[in-house]
Chains A and B, each alone.
Chain A
Amino acid sequence: MDTSRLQHTFAAVFIFVIAVVVAWISFYQEPADAFLFPRLISVFFAGLAAWNLVRAVAGMAKVGDGMSADTFLKILPGLVIAFVYVFFAARFLGFYLSSWVTFLLLYTLYDPLSPVNVQGWVKRIIVTTCFMVVMYGLFALLLKVQTPRGIWF
C-alpha cells in the first residue's frame, strides 16, 4: 500500500471512529427525545464515513494530497508555538505580552533572514511592537475588551 493510500485510509478510519462514537452516544444516551436530531444525523454520518472508508481502503479516495513528512516538519514548530500560546501562555503571561512573544517567535522562525542577523532582529522587534500597539488600540481602547492580564500584561 503506497503512502498516500495509507494516509487516506488512516484519515478515513479516524472519521469513521468519530461517526461510530457519535452514533453510539446518540442511540444509547437518555432521554431519547433530546437525541432525536443527533440520531438522524448520525445515521447519515456513519453511512458516509463507512463509504469513505471503503473508498480509501480500495484506493479510490484520490482527492487531497495527504501530508508529507517535509510539510509536517515545517508546520510543527509553528503548531507547537500556536498550541503553547493559546492553551498556556495567553492566560499565564497575559494576552498582550504572550501575543508579542508569539508574533516575534513566529516571525523569526519563518523569516528567510538568518536569526543571527542583528538588523533582522531590530526590524522584527519594531514590526511586532507596531502590530501589538494596533491590536491594543483596537481591542483595549476601541472595543474595550477585557483580556486576561496573567502575571504581567
Chain B
Amino acid sequence: MEFLAYFGGVFEPLSLLLLIGGTVGGLILGATPGLSPTMAVALLIPFTFHLSPTQGLILLGAAYTSTVAGGAVSAILLKIPGAPANIATSLDGNAMAKNGEGARALHLSFLSSGIGGVTGVMLLIFLTPVLASWALEFGPSELFWISILGVTVIGSLDSKSFVKGLLSGCIGLWLSTIGYDDNLGVPRFIFSDSLTGGINIIAALIGLFAIPQVLDMFSKGRQSRDIEQIEVPKHPISKSVGELRRSGRALSIGTIIGSIIGLIPGVGGQIAGLVAYDQSRKFSSQREKFGTGHGEGVIAAESANNAMVGPSLVPLLTLSIPGSPTAAVLLGGLLIHGIFPGSDLFEKHPDVAWTFINSMLIGQILMVIFGIYTAAWAARIARAPMPIMAAAVMVLALFGSYSVQQSMGDVYIMLSLGIGMYFLEKFGFSAAPLVLGLILGPIAEANFIQGSLIANAQNGPFEYFMTGTLNVLLITLVVVSIAYSFWSNMIQGRTSTLAEEAG
C-alpha cells in the first residue's frame, strides 16, 4: 500500500493543473481523426522538458489515458475512430448516434472507459512492485537481454511482417549508435555535422510519429471530409449509470480482456477492443443486436481499450519493455529526465513512480467527468479541416524538436527521419520497433560493454551472456516472440493465398 503515501503529490496545484490540462487536451486530441495517441504524447514531450520529472510524467500519463478514451467521441459521432483502439466502438456507437442516442453512447463509453481504466491502473499498482523487486536481481547480461527482448517483442508482434519489424528494430539500434562513443569518445557514423551529438530521442520521436501522419494527410489531397452532422439530444446520466450496472457481463469481459492484453507487450488497444467486442457478443443473450446500436458493444470495446492502458505500463516500469508504441514514447519521456525504468525506479525515485501511477488513477476519474461534459465540444474540434491539422502539426513538430536543445540539427533530424519513416511505412515497416531500438540501444550497448568487461575477467562472454536461469529465460522469450511471429506470418500468408485462389 506504498502508493497511498504519494497521493498528496497529485494534488499539488501545478500537478493538478497539468493533470486536468492533459486530460482535456488528450480528449480533444484523441477525438481528432488523424492524430494518434502516440503522436499526441510525442508532441507533448518537449513541454515536459521544462517541468520536473513527476509533473512531466503526470502530463504525459493524462494525455495517454484520455486520448484513448477521446477517440471514442469521433468513433461514435463521426464514425471515424480517433485511434485504432476505437475501431470496435464505432460499430455500435455510431449506430446509436444515428438513432438519436449519441449522448447515451458517449455516457456509456466514458463510464465504461473509467471503470476499465481504474481496474487497469489498480493492476499496475499491485503488479509493478512485485515485478520490480524481481528485476533487482538483474545484472548487465540480463539488462542487455531485456533491451534486446524489448526490441524483438515489439518488432515481431507489433508489425504485420516480422522480418520488417525486426529490421525496423535493427535500424533503430543502429541509429542509436550514431555520434560519439560513450566509452572511448570515438566518432561513429557521423555523416553530417547535425549528427555530431547523436540522434536526440525527442526529435526522433516527433519526426517518426508526427511527420508520417502529416504526409498521410497531404496524400488525401484537396478533398473535403464529408462528415455527417449528427444531432446529440440530451440523455440523463442516471439512466446511463443504470444501464451500465445492468451490463455487468460486457463490462467484466471488456475489463478482463483489456487488462490481460495490456500486459502482453506489443498487442495493443485495437486488438483489446475487437477481442472484447467479439467475446461480449458471443456471451450475450442479445447477440443479434450487436452492430445495430447496442450499448453492450460500446461498453465492451471501451472498457477493454482503456483497461489495457495501466497494464501496458507494467512491463515498461519494471523491465523497460513498453507494452505499446505510446508506452515506448513514455519511456523516452522518462529517459530524458535521467530516469531509467526497472527496479531502480521504485528504489531511487518512488515519489516520481508512485505519483505518476496515482495521477493515472485520478486521471481516469477526471477523464470520465470531463469526457461526458466536453464530448460535444471535442466533436466540434474533431471536424476541423485536415489542412489545418496538417499545418499545425508541421509547425508544432518544428518548434517542439527545436525547443529541447535549441538546435537546428535536431530539427533537420526530425524532418529527415519523419520523411524516411513515411516511405518505410508504405513498404510495411513500422515506427514502434525503430523507436524502441533507438531508445533501448544505448541501454543495450552500455550493458553489453559492461558485461563484456566482467566476462573477460571471468569465464568468457559465452558463459556470462548465455548461461544462468534469467539469461536463459530471457533468451527463450526472445526466441519465442520471434518464432511465434514467424508462425503467425506463415499462417496469415497461407490464409491470404487460399483466399486469393478462391477468388
- A contact set with B: CB distance below 8 Å: 7-8, 11, 15, 18-19, 22, 25, 29, 31, 33-38, 40-42, 44-45, 48-49, 51-52, 55, 60-67, 71, 74-75, 77-79, 82-83, 85-87, 90-91, 95, 99, 102-103, 106-112, 127-128, 131-132, 135, 138-139, 143, 145-148
Q: Does B11 sit at the interface, judged by CB under 8 A? A: no
What is the minimal beta-carbon distance from B204 to any residue of chain A, in angstroms?
15
The answer to whether residues A74 and B449 also contact, given A131-B395, A147-B402 and a CB cut-off of 8 A, is: no
| Chain A residue with the shortest CB-CB distance to B442 | A37
Residues of A close to B445: CB separation below 8 A: 37
Q: Does B484 sit at the interface, judged by CB under 8 A? A: no
Contact partner of A61 among B186, B211, B428, CB < 8 A?
Answer: B428
Q: Given A42-B174, A62-B496, A74-B219, 5 more contacts at CB 8 Å?
A: A49-B167, A95-B402, A102-B391, A111-B222, A112-B222
| Chain B residue with the shortest CB-CB distance to A131 | B392
Q: Do A48 and B221 touch (CB < 8 A)? A: no
Q: Does B129 sit at the interface, judged by CB under 8 A? A: no
Q: Does B52 sit at the interface, judged by CB under 8 A? A: no
The answer to whether residues A38 and B177 also contact, given A8-B427, A102-B391 and a CB cut-off of 8 A, is: yes
| Chain B residue with the shortest CB-CB distance to A52 | B163
Binds A, one of B71-79, B94-102, B337-345, B403-411: B403-411
Q: Do B411 and A48 touch (CB < 8 A)? A: no
Question: Please, could you name 30 A-B residue pairs with CB atoms under 8 Å apart, sorted by A?
Answer: A11-B424, A15-B167, A29-B188, A34-B184, A34-B188, A36-B449, A40-B448, A48-B166, A52-B167, A63-B159, A63-B164, A64-B425, A67-B423, A74-B219, A74-B220, A77-B218, A78-B214, A78-B218, A82-B419, A86-B398, A86-B414, A99-B398, A106-B394, A108-B387, A110-B217, A131-B391, A135-B399, A138-B399, A139-B399, A147-B399
A73 to B445 alpha-carbon distance, docked (Å): 42
Residues of A close to B427: CB separation below 8 A: 7-8, 11, 61, 63-64, 66
Q: Does B183 sit at the interface, judged by CB under 8 A? A: yes
Contact partner of A127 among B50, B181, B388, B412, CB < 8 A?
Answer: B388
Contact partner of A78 among B161, B215, B406, CB < 8 A?
Answer: B215
Residues of A close to B173: CB separation below 8 A: 41, 45
What is the minimal beta-carbon distance from A38 to any residue of chain B, in angstroms?
5
The answer to whether residues A48 and B412 also contact, given A67-B426, A135-B395 and a CB cut-off of 8 A, is: no
- B contact set with A: CB distance below 8 Å: 47, 50, 159-161, 163-164, 166-167, 170-171, 173-174, 177, 181, 183-184, 186, 188-189, 211, 214-215, 217-224, 385-388, 390-392, 394-396, 398-399, 402-403, 406, 408, 411-412, 414-415, 419, 423-429, 444-445, 448-449, 452, 493, 496
| Chain A residue with the shortest CB-CB distance to B393 | A106
The answer to whether residues A85 and B219 also contact, given A52-B164, A95-B399 and a CB cut-off of 8 A, is: no
Q: Do B419 and A79 touch (CB < 8 A)? A: yes
Contact partner of B391 among A41, A86, A107, CB < 8 A?
Answer: A107
Q: Do B219 and A71 touch (CB < 8 A)? A: yes
Q: Do B189 and A31 touch (CB < 8 A)? A: no
Residues of A close to B394: CB separation below 8 A: 82, 85, 102-103, 106
What is the minimal beta-carbon distance from A16 to any residue of chain B, in angstroms?
10
What is the minimal beta-carbon distance from A110 to any residue of chain B, in angstroms?
4
A79 to B217 alpha-carbon distance, docked (Å): 11
A111 to B221 alpha-carbon distance, docked (Å): 8
What is the minimal beta-carbon distance from B441 to any residue of chain A, in angstroms?
8
A86 to B429 alpha-carbon distance, docked (Å): 25
| Chain A residue with the shortest CB-CB distance to B181 | A34
Residues of A close to B188: CB separation below 8 A: 29, 34-35, 38
Contact partner of A41 among B177, B186, B385, CB < 8 A?
Answer: B177
Q: Do A31 and B214 touch (CB < 8 A)? A: no
The answer to whether residues A44 and B170 also contact, given A29-B188, A74-B218, A145-B402 and a CB cut-off of 8 A, is: yes
| Chain A residue with the shortest CB-CB distance to B172 | A41
Q: Do B218 and A79 touch (CB < 8 A)? A: yes
What is the minimal beta-carbon distance from A73 to any residue of chain B, in angstroms?
9
What is the minimal beta-carbon distance from A79 to any residue of chain B, in angstroms?
7
Residues of A close to B163: CB separation below 8 A: 48, 51-52, 55
Q: Do A34 and B415 touch (CB < 8 A)? A: no
Q: Do B214 and A82 touch (CB < 8 A)? A: yes
Q: Do A41 and B219 touch (CB < 8 A)? A: no
Q: Do B167 and A107 touch (CB < 8 A)? A: no
What is the minimal beta-carbon distance from A126 to any residue of chain B, in angstroms?
11
Q: Do A87 and B412 touch (CB < 8 A)? A: yes
| Chain A residue with the shortest CB-CB distance to B497 | A62
A67 to B423 alpha-carbon distance, docked (Å): 8
Residues of A close to B385: CB separation below 8 A: 111-112
The answer to whether residues A110 and B218 also contact, given A45-B171, A90-B398 and a CB cut-off of 8 A, is: yes
Q: Do A34 and B183 touch (CB < 8 A)? A: yes
A64 to B424 alpha-carbon distance, docked (Å): 9
Residues of B close to A86: CB separation below 8 A: 398, 411-412, 414-415
Q: Do B184 and A75 touch (CB < 8 A)? A: no
What is the minimal beta-carbon distance from B29 to any residue of chain A, in angstroms?
15
What is the minimal beta-carbon distance from A94 to any residue of chain B, in angstroms?
12
Residues of B close to A35: CB separation below 8 A: 188
The answer to whether residues A85 and B398 also contact, given A38-B177, A42-B174, A64-B425 and a CB cut-off of 8 A, is: yes
Residues of B close to A109: CB separation below 8 A: 222, 387
Contact partner of B392 among A44, A61, A63, A103, CB < 8 A?
Answer: A103
Residues of A close to B398: CB separation below 8 A: 85-86, 90, 95, 99
